[in-house]
Amino acid sequence: MIQPHSLLPTSFTPNKILATKGTTLNHVSTRGQVQAHFKKCTKESGLCKCNRRHFIEAFGTSLLPISNASNAVELLNIDPMNMLDRVHPPRPDWYEEFYASAMDKTMKSYEAEIAGYKSQLFSNLRGNVLEIGIGTGPNLKYYANGSDIRIVGIDPNRKMKKYALAAAKAAGITSENFKFEQAVAEALPVDDASLDVVIGTLVLCSVEDVDLVLQEIKRVLKPGGTYLFIEHVAAQDGTILKYVQGVLDPLQQFVADGCHLSRETGTSILNAGFSTVNVHNIFLSSASLINPHVYGIANQ
């Protein structure tokens, strides 16, 4: 299991340590508790209201312990396929392909700059690993050195699948050890307390309901399991960057499939009720408006 100290690479000193905290907020660890949260937040539309935005709505396995969907419908009423339809209804084919292809082609300099952080964060993975919003699979090459590792990547965008499968193959990960599932992180198709590691990079900016996703991550992690994250967040209040992010946020959501520029995701992770959270703050020159980033480890 990754320990927090392994996160602090000698050659990548974070600008600032935001916080190290053991919190007890929002204890939601079973699907029943997640369901209660969901019901509380649900109105007639059937969508959870937490942090929701609707700019783009008009566009309108066997590796891991994947839940039986029909049981989930019956017992929990938050079946992963229902949730997929609710929070990320299918976009037109051309839009999904455009976004997947853009992610594949335009992230090279970003990936080069973040590589040192990723190789530290994702070293020595083992066991059952789930990546939420896996996209084109840029992280898979870092998992290849892991031992005894079984990976499932979920993403609502069907067009990401071919890129993610190709990335897994290029990384030398066998098709037995990597599966892609179409799903959203608001209802993970995974049993309670069944995973060793959950990973998410640049995804909490795009989900419909950040708090619900964090409760889902806690639900599926085993006790002591690890959530590894790299997310871009809102700039500091009062800065020009924060102002520009506010102005361009609607456009960003439109062109980048719901990505928000000004979420306080570091704070959301700190307040989600993980037993320990280590969050570090960095600024990446290749990411322009999509700054700063937080990265770190939270433990169930």
Ligand X SMILES: C[S@@+](CC[C@H](N)C(=O)[O-])C[C@H]1O[C@@H](n2cnc3c(N)ncnc32)[C@H](O)[C@@H]1O
Choices 44-52, 200-208, 235-243, 247-255; region in contact with ligand X by CB under 6 A: 200-208
- Rounded Cα distance between 277 and 300, Å, is 9
- Rounded Cα distance between 176 and 79, Å, is 26
Q: Does 88 bind ligand X (CB under 6 A)?
A: yes
Residues of this chain, 93-132, that bind ligand X according to CB under 6 A: 103, 132
- Rounded Cα distance between 51 and 65, Å, is 29
Per the structure block, which two tokens stand in for 248? 């361009």
Applying CB under 6 A, among 14, 80, 146, 156 the residue interacting with ligand X is 156
Q: Does 160 bind ligand X (CB under 6 A)?
A: yes
Per the structure block, which two tokens stand in for 99? 């976004």
Task: Give Cβ neighbours of residue 260 (< 8 Å, ≥ 6 apart).
Answer: 53, 205, 206, 249, 252, 253
Whether cis (ω within 30° of 0) applies to the bond prior to 292 is yes
Q: Does 185 bind ligand X (CB under 6 A)?
A: yes
Give whichever of 173 and 184 is closer to ligand X, judged by the CB atom: 184
Q: Does 206 bind ligand X (CB under 6 A)?
A: yes
- Rounded Cα distance between 189 and 72, Å, is 9
Q: Which residue is nearest to ligand X (CB)?
A: 135
Q: Does 186 bind ligand X (CB under 6 A)?
A: yes
Shortest Å, Cβ 64 to ligand X:
16
Tell me how many residues contact ligand X (CB under 6 A): 24
Shortest Å, Cβ 193 to ligand X:
20
- Rounded Cα distance between 182 and 165, Å, is 13
- Rounded Cα distance between 171 and 180, Å, is 15
Q: Does 80 bind ligand X (CB under 6 A)?
A: no
Shortest Å, Cβ 248 to ligand X:
15
Q: Does 203 bind ligand X (CB under 6 A)?
A: yes
Give whichever of 186 and 211 is closer to ligand X, judged by the CB atom: 186
Q: Does 135 bind ligand X (CB under 6 A)?
A: yes
Helix 210-220 and helix 31-41: axis angle, to 10°? 170
- Rounded Cα distance between 294 and 300, Å, is 19
Q: Does 202 bind ligand X (CB under 6 A)?
A: yes
Chain positions contacting ligand X, by CB under 6 A:
87-88, 103, 132-135, 138, 155-157, 160, 184-186, 201-203, 206-208, 257-259
